[in-house]
Structure 1
Amino acid sequence: RNFQEALQKAAQSLEINRNGLGADGRELKDQQEILESLEHPSWNRLFHIYDAFKLGISLSTIHKLSKIDKWFLIQIEELLQVERDIEQYTLDTIPKDLFRTAKEKGYADRQLGHLLSCLESEVYKKRKELGINRVYKTVDTCAAEFEARTPYYYSTFDHENELVVSNKKKIVVLGSGPNRIGQGIEFDYSCVHGVLAAKECGYETIMINCNPETVSTDFDVADKLYFEPVFWEHIYEIIEQEKPLGVIVQLGGQTALKLAEKLSKYGIPILGTSFEALDLAEDRGSFSKLLKENNIPYPEFGVVQDAEEALVLSKKLNFPLLVRPSYVLGGQGMKIVINEKELEEHIVDIMKKIPNNKVLLDHYLDGAIEAEADAICDGEDVYIIGIMQHIEPAGIHSGDSYAVLPPYNLGDFIIRQIEAYTKKIALSLKTVGLINIQFAIK
């Protein structure tokens, strides 16, 4: 209900591994770099304004360099003062009024955990003990001309809760968050059709997403829409309020998939493919072992967690190598490298952006044809939806490739092999729902 809370929620919605505007240990500390950034508009200048205040750079200097209205700068400066106040306490000693003030200004439990040197779950537990609860307000779609009756909600920390919870059987669909390279509007299309299908089956459908420029956030698509960051704290509190039969994660891209582990840990039913199967599919090394067990051919591979391991492995696999992080979608962090220098630089870059990631190295099949199969499975039967052949060779990411349906020159034998392998993989993963598999043919 205030600018600071809105700003923090916007930062949490960005999908750039930030917990909010700050208080996550990722601040830039190079003063000269910050001063240069303030002069030039960029996607991360907002964060550098926060960093500048944290380093003690004055409001007048920041205003002079950035030309941003002082009112907005004061709002950010006030957040830093709240953080300094919080850091004087521990979780056991923080005053309730200060705790509530922080939540009213948009601080996530994870941010408060960072400031108080404790776990996010401990902050959540303490907050509940103090009775500091999130409430939900109806979005005023009528500009206050008359009473709004649309079930379109956002959360805040206030006293009156406008949310009306029904006794109907409900299903939650997690949205795909912001559109960006590697994760576009196709996932929103999937979410919308998932919502429509659940409605046809008689369930009350609940959509959670933060992007206003999508169809899923149109107020009349789902029975109930929460316009919230696809961020654990927000998702969990909505589920606690609504108590759905389950949550669909496989339609919202990597944004939704990465929440599957916590949903499973907290005993929240995942509708469709289980977290264990999703995790197996996303862990490059484990998935390669599954292929081996099913006698499905694949390039020689290895899994590494640092540059030193990668250099040792490269001598066994031979260049060129395809480098692929685990738990990413849309080709994030994937690259073909042709020598040790490129390999070392890329592994260091991946580990900086995605710490503790398991990176798969496999020998790149130069000149291979790429094809992909889409299928749907109920855990027992597999139905092939279609097989597409890429015009570009393997190694060009599928999101950047043209594909032809049906395949134009694969031949019946290759198509039958793709169908057989697709069925084996889908059943081995105990897939319940959609599956897409990409094949390199050489």
Structure 2
Amino acid sequence: MSTVTGSTGLLHNESIPSNRKKIIVLGSGPNRIGQGIEFDYCCVHGLMAIKESGYEAIMVNCNPETVSTDFDIADKLYFEPVFWEHLWEIIELEQPEGVIVQLGGQTALKLAKKLVEKGVKIIGTSFDSMDIAEDRGRFSDLLRDLEIPYPQYGTAYDVDEAIEVANRVGYPVLVRPSYVLGGQRMRIVINDDEVEKAVISLLKHIPGNKILIDHFLDRCQEAEVDAIFDGENFHVMGVMEHIEPAGIHSGDSNAVLPAFNLTPLEVTTLEYYSEKIARALDIRGLINIQFAIKDGTVYVIEANPRASRTTPFIAKAYGIPYLNIATKVMLGEKKLTDFTFEKKLDGFAIKEPVFSFNKFPGVNKELGPEMKSTGEAIRFVKDLRDPYFRKLYKERSMNLSK
């Protein structure tokens, strides 16, 4: 909390709460591999929407390099680590109407459980819906009930269980934990020895975490959908097709908006499955869903019930204030039918991952399911004959042929 030392040597609080209705927005903390500056854009536009809706906007973040921590963006800024101990003190003082966790990436989302346990209202999607999406086992069960294809999977808590599951679903498999940042500790493995090493490493760094073992869909196309749902109406912000093949983390992949090589049926299926999932999870606000397409079948890999790192990219590419709209939907102030969506993109937009390997010379530069990029850039091309796009696609073809 913000405290100063008085003449008596005792600490007193310098933050005086107002009588206005307040909404707290949780930021993403320091920029790091797996979570970067993209979420600052989300928080800034969320704060603007909160103020436009008549609430006092309170920002909690601790990164001096972000716009969300500028003195004139929020009505009140708490420059504090995005940790539970700090957040709870702020909540006790400010007594907000609720807290928004959808705009600060995985760091903010991981605090949702403690908020619910303390009786604090989460603005937007409920914690239970978030937990279904984040818990790999529960989410796969939901997909089964919705009759949506997904890779065969199983869950485990130790090495022996993991090896048994891996043999049942078939190698290669993707070994991954729940509630992690940027694909942390995810590994693609091809035999029992590699499963053992991956699980031991995972449990060493994340003790007690439930381990999900997925059959890995090799040599397939990846795509993702970002969307908004208000409880009644569903809107697809964008369908992005990855240039890199499956197995590379979405944050490390070049991606093209709109999709360039998927069939109309595949794109329609992506959007159809996305809406089914959003309705089943009762999303209020943002959702990002990752897909794999192989032999004409669309498989769902995962869903993120929050702003993704590509949400700002799509908003900028199409020239639509999607984060402002989504925040007002979360607050219950607006429905999607209150807005018009005119996409202004002429041609294609390509998301380029930004890497900082020159600052970490000893780091393994090989890309995989664990994210290694530190940001992203955007490039606009008029058509697919553009030399830059042709070079990227040629490299993809070479990778697939290996």
Same fold, TM exceeding 0.5?
yes
Residue 392 of structure 1 aligns to a residue whose secondary structure is coil
Partners in 2 of 1:258 and 1:326 — Cα distance?
Answer: 11
Q: Deviations over 1:199-218 (max 9, x none)?
A: 11111100001111111111
Shift of 1:159: 2.7
Higher helix share: 1
Q: Matched residues in 2 for 1:412 and 1:135: separation?
A: 55
SS in 1 for 2:20: coil
SS at match of 1:350: helix
Q: Indicate if the aligned counterparts of 1:137 and 1:163 stay in contact, CA closer than 8 A.
A: no
CA RMSD of aligned residues (A): 1.4
Matched AA of 2:254: Y
- 1:305-344 counterparts in 2 under 5 A? 305-344=157-196
1:260 paired residue among 104, 109, 112? 112
Question: Given the alignment, which residue of 366, 377, 380 partners 2:232?
Answer: 380
* Among candidates 155, 177, 188, match of residue 40 of structure 2: 188
- 1:439 Cα deviation from its structure 2 partner: 0.3
User: Residue 194 and residue 137 in structure 1: after superposition, are their counterparts in 2 closer, same or farther (change >3 A)?
Assistant: farther
Amino acid at match of 1:136: T
The question of whether the paired residues in 1 share the 8 Å contact of 2:107 and 2:181 is answered with no
Q: Deviations over 1:6-61 (max 9, x none)?
A: xxxxxxxxxxxxxxxxxxxxxxxxxxxxxxxxxxxxxxxxxxxxxxxxxxxxxxxx
The superposition leaves residues 72-94 of structure 1 with CA deviations (integer Å, 9 ceiling, x where unpaired) of xxxxxxxxxxxxxxxxxxxxxxx
Establish whether residue 227 from structure 1 lines up as the match of residue 79 from structure 2. yes
Matched, 1:366 2:366: no
Instruction: Output the amino acid matched with 1:408.
Output: F
Q: 2:60 aligns with which of 192, 208, 211?
A: 208
Residue 352 (structure 1) aligned with residue 352 (structure 2): no
Q: How does 1:17-416 map to 2 (within 5 A)?
A: 136-137=3-4, 158-416=10-268
Task: Tell me, yes or no, if the aligned pair for 1:246 and 1:270 is still in contact at 8 Å.
Answer: yes
**Structure 1 residue 329: Cα displacement:** 2.9
CA shift in 2, pair 1:301/1:284, >3 Å:
same
Q: Tell me how far 1:411 sits from its aligned partner.
A: 1.1
Equivalent residue letter for 2:34: G
Cα deviations by residue, 1:364-399 (Å, 9 ceiling, x for unpaired)? 111010000000011222111110000001111001
Deviation digits for residues 281-303 of structure 1 (CA, Å, limit 9, x no counterpart)? 10000000000000000111101
Larger radius of gyration: 1
Normalised by the size of structure 1, how large is the TM-score? 0.64
Task: Give the match for residue 438 of structure 1.
Answer: 290
Structure 2 residue identity aligned to 1:357: N
Q: 1:250 to 1:158 in 2, by over 3 A?
A: farther
Residues 262 and 158 of structure 1: CA distance in aligned 2, closer, same or farther (over 3 Å): farther
Aligned residue identity for 1:433: G
Per residue, is there more strand in 1 or in 2? 2
- Equivalent residues of 1:282, 1:327 under 8 A apart: yes
2:270 to 418, 422, 428: 418
Letter in 2 for 1:432: R
Question: Cα deviations across residues 151-209 of structure 1 (Å, max 9, x unaligned)?
Answer: xxxxxx94332212110111000110111111111111111111111111111100001
C-alpha distance 160-399 of structure 1, shift in aligned 2 (>3 A): same
Aligned-pair identity in percent equals 63
**Number of aligned positions between the proteins:** 291
Higher relative contact order (CA 8 A, sep 6+): 2
Aligned to 2:78, the other structure's residue is in SS state strand
Shift in CA distance, 158/382, structure 1 to aligned 2, threshold 3 Å: farther
The Cα of 1:335 is off from its aligned counterpart by 1.3
- In structure 2, the CA distance between the partners of 1:215 and 1:312, relative to structure 1 (3 Å rule), is same
What TM-score do you get using the length of structure 2 for normalisation?
A: 0.71
Q: Which runs of 5+ in 1 are unaligned?
A: 1-133, 139-156
Counterparts of 1:180 and 1:135, CA distance in 2? 25
Partner of 1:428: 280
